[in-house]
Structure 1
Amino acid sequence: MNAALIATMTKLPEQLRKTLTWDRGKEFSAHAQFALETGTKVFFADPHSPWQRPTNENTNGLLRQYFPKGTDLSRWSPKDLEAVALALNNRPRKGLDWKTPAEVFEQQLRSLQQPRNPSHKMLMSVLGGMSESERQHVQARVRAAMDTQVLNEGRHQGGRAPYGYVTVDGGPHPNPRKSAEGYRLRVLAIDDESAWVVQRIFAEYLSGKGDRAIANALNHDRIQCPSARRPDQNRHRPGDGWQGGTVRAILENPRYTGYAFFGRSTKFETLLDPDDVSAGHVVRFRKASPDRVVRSRNPAHPKIVEIEDFTAAQLLRKSKGSLRSARKTERSGRALKHRYLFRGRIRCDICGRKMEGSPRKKAMYYRCPARTLAPGSPVLTSHPGAVYLREDALQDAVNGWLGHVFDRKNRDRTVAALMDSQEPVIQIGRDAAKKRLAEAEAKLTRFQNAIMAGVDPAALVEAINEAQAERLASRAALDNVPAPVEVDVAEIYAAIDLIGDVTAALRGSAPTRLEELYEAIDLQVRYKQNPHEADVSINPVGVNNARVRGGT
């Protein structure tokens, strides 16, 4: 025991292990060697005086929640004991103003920072490695436990219920502690109003229809899509109709066979900017390898689709995916008959979608047909049957403006306009992180008020831990958002020089050269049918948008 104490204490900075107060148990008989090895002064409390070491006594009481008095600790592995220590270190304490011991310990470490001291750098590296190792161990233990629950019990591990199912009360939680705190088990049950749609999707797919054809038929029959049926679970989706991707997700979900599945997608961290490591990481999801997916041994909930039908659908999808369609083969094996100068660069101002090329006998047009909108789309009331824009009229107007903007005489004026037009860069997800942070802090405030009003703190420990974790995650996301960077005049001049001779490209009007020019300046067009105007924007490399508005 003495060796374990020495090994644990020597991991701490010297400033944090000056003294230690023990009781008079025989297990501390080697205190002299401990003091010599660690440099820590050891004191002993008076007999029958627990108030002289209150924090230790309080911790003993917390440990009794996991290990009742008389428990044989040899039954537990070191990893199990580490898990209990981690749980206690992340439990809010009233004596710490409802902060966790881990937070207070981190603040103490920061107060001891001496960046220029080599020992400090080594300490930070060691603590960072220990923290990352513990994080990985916790993740592995939690994942192993959840895999076992799915494999043996078919337990629903939370999250949104698949379309066609709803979550219902499954009785008391199997964990006695969670059950005592009022938690209930959630299980999947069939939603009669939408389960038949899932069966229809599988039947139509096996009959030969594709994803988009099935989605169009569902939209034609005025059947609500998943995000429209459950908007509370799909706040990030518009809910304006079925899409091919929605049908594909249903066809590839094995939970419709009645078995529980877990781990079909996995999280991974990637750099926000590979050229700037300090910008931090972002979490992404990708499909997990088959060996990482866990399936319950027995059916876990009512099935909607037979296993044979689901298997046939997957085999059919693989057969389609391995062969190139005749349309794709034809498209890649021959030269294009028409060139689309503005392909992917024009958007309809009414619906915001990209306009598609539409060749005609006398000219090239770009169109946005209303028939391809989802039946429930709110823009249908204001969208004409089709919006058309003639390419040569747009090309003349755009090229005339570009010739004026990049003319040598107007170069300084263009650079000044680009400098003035720079807008602050808004990091994607920043507002969402702020909202999550505010919600987490509001939850913590409500919990504190409830405790002050007389609610038992033990009943709120789990909820407080979750809110605390959400607050820390939101703060980390906000801290990793890079500050907006504005380019200077020299960088704008350099970007324009890299584009090359714009006047020569416009004078020659060679389609290939014009496409390269539009790509270099990131030309974007937003077309308004009434009053027949186009908002044109360019974005040279490293420069924020500069806009111009002119009739076409």
Structure 2
Amino acid sequence: MAEYFDEGCSRRLPWRKRPAAAQLMAAAAQPNRPFDAVVIGEYERAFYGDQFNTVLTMLQQQGIHLWLPEADGPVNLDDPVHQALMLLLGSQSRREVLRARHRVLAAMHIQARVQGRFLGGRPPYGYRLADAGPHPNRGHASWGRRLHRLEPDSATAPWVRWIFQQRATGRSVAGIARELNDRGIPCPSSAGRVRNRHRTKHEWIVRTVVGILENPRYTGRQVWNRHGARTTGPPHDGAPTRPSAARGWAESDKVTHPALVDEATFLTVQGMRAARPTQHGHTRAYLLAGLVQCQLCGRRLDSHWVKGRPGYRCRHGHTSAHTRPPELTKNVYVREDHLLNEFRARFAETVGDDRSAIADYLRSNDLTITCGGPTRKVKACGPSRAIATMDETVGDQLLLL
């Protein structure tokens, strides 16, 4: 009666997200449909995981039989032979997907590392895509597919070089982002709107500048399967290393496109991001790191060591990508021991007198401390956290929401 064939759709997608399969299910739901059976040509191309049981149930509710060549007719799950057959076909489909995925990922890894091939995606800020000739595979070339390579963009490449130069001189990442915003330089999402329609922000942020400084592509080498994993400490030997050396990225063995920064500068910038040891060689610990928030601007307070003890501060306009508004105070600073002493009485019944236990309790319950205003608050940052409410005053007013 009719043929429904999906082309270019992964079998892992449910039927409702496949165009032809969705049309088939819509036609099966019509009361005046001209068919009473659906024949699947090849199980491995039609189903994955538990999709077969879902589709079979939907069709049986409409009074439609599901036929498979392997079953020599309609499938009957009440038959033990058909049950074993469906389990076998499902395992084969999953096995074929895993094997195909492994082969494709291995091939792309070799193409990026050995051949230095550009394997798609948005070009990094500072580059544009250029034609690199026909596809080396004759079949793909006959279909009109061509290779691409990266070339410096005359409008944005100078700013990438400027970012690396400024960072190499010791300038802070926040200061770089702030000057870019003050100068009105288009950020990556504004410079390439066609490829960044999913991004709505049109200003530089600290994380964007950090992403540029960590990208090895600016050294002229092709990178594939790059993913974020920020370094939490210095290397074991104390020397700066390339991010890809420890993260398993596929990086080309040779230079494949014009570099915007030399290798030495790139490594120097990576070394600047490593944690610096103290003059006594000790490691400074901040129990409430990431748990203290500024009431005035909403940003997390930076961990700050002063006079031999840990504290937290927010310097508006100095560690952010925006200039400090005139109505805000210049700095917000709070000592860690003061916060812990104030909260110790409130959490004594729950966690005891241990300071580390107080910090662990705040993290496990998605609680944050807000400072900088007339009151200090402990509030829930999760979507559904509600612990208790107290109005007692300890120094400043303490609210536990």
Please confirm whether the aligned pair reaches a TM-score higher than 0.5, indicating the same fold.
Answer: yes
Out of 23, 42, 46, the residue aligned to residue 97 of structure 1 is 23
Distance 1:153 1:534, change over 3 A: same
- On the 8 A contact 2:164/2:269 being kept in 1, the answer is no
Q: C-alpha separation between the residues in 2 aligned to 1:373 and 1:234?
A: 28
**Normalising by structure 2, what TM-score?**
0.56
Larger radius of gyration: 1
Question: For 1:372, what is the secondary structure of its paired residue?
Answer: coil
Could you tell me how far apart the structure 2 residues matched to 1:185 and 1:145 are?
A: 16
Matched, 1:387 2:332: yes
Distance 2:279 2:326 in 1: 35
Q: What amino acid does structure 1 have at the position aligned with 2:295?
A: D
Instruction: State how 1:510-529 maps to structure 2 within 5 Å.
Output: 513-517=354-358, 519-520=360-361, 522=365, 524-527=368-371, 529=373
Report the equivalent of 1:535: 377
Give the aligned partner of residue 153 of structure 2.
Answer: 191
Give the alignment of 1:62-81 within 5 angstroms.
none
* 1:192 maps to amino acid: S
Cα distance in 1 for partners of 2:247, 2:272 equals: 20
Partner Cα distance (1:356, 1:201) in 2: 23
Distance 1:304 1:125, change over 3 A: same
Structure 2 distance, partners of 1:199, 1:127, is 55
* TM-score normalised to structure 1 length: 0.43
1:282-321 equivalence runs, <5 A: 293=250, 295=252, 299=256, 301-305=257-261, 309-310=262-263, 312-313=264-265, 316=268
Retained in 2: the 8 A contact 1:156–1:260?
yes
Partner of 1:350: 296
1:331 and 2:172 correspond? no
Quote the residue 2:121 is aligned against. 159
Within 5 Å, give how 1:212-231 maps onto structure 2.
213=172, 216-217=175-176, 219-220=178-179, 222=182, 224=185, 226-227=187-188, 229-230=190-191
Task: Spell out the pairing of 1:117-516 with structure 2 (5 A cutoff).
Answer: 120=83, 123=85, 126-143=88-105, 145-146=107-108, 150=112, 155-167=117-129, 186-203=148-165, 209-210=169-170, 213=172, 216-217=175-176, 219-220=178-179, 222=182, 224=185, 226-227=187-188, 229-230=190-191, 232=193, 233=196, 241=204, 243=206, 249-264=211-226, 293=250, 295=252, 299=256, 301-305=257-261, 309-310=262-263, 312-313=264-265, 316=268, 325-327=276-278, 330-332=281-283, 344-356=290-302, 367-376=313-322, 380=325, 383-388=328-333, 398=343, 499=350, 505=353, 513-516=354-357
How many Å separate the matches in 2 of 1:257 and 1:358? 34
RMSD after superposition: 5.7
Residue 256 of structure 1: how far off its partner (Å): 3.0
Mapped to 1, the partners of 2:310 and 2:252 lie a distance apart of 54
Q: 1:321 to 1:116 in 2, by over 3 A?
A: farther
TM-fit CA distance, 1:394: 6.2
Aligned-residue sequence identity (percent) comes to: 24
> Structure 1 CA distance, aligned partners of 2:113 and 2:283?
46
User: For residues 336 and 277 of structure 2, what CA distance do their matches in structure 1 show?
Assistant: 30
Question: Greater share of helix residues, 1 or 2?
Answer: 1
Measure, in 2, the Cα distance between the counterparts of 1:231 and 1:549.
50
**Amino acid of the structure 2 residue aligned with 1:386:** N
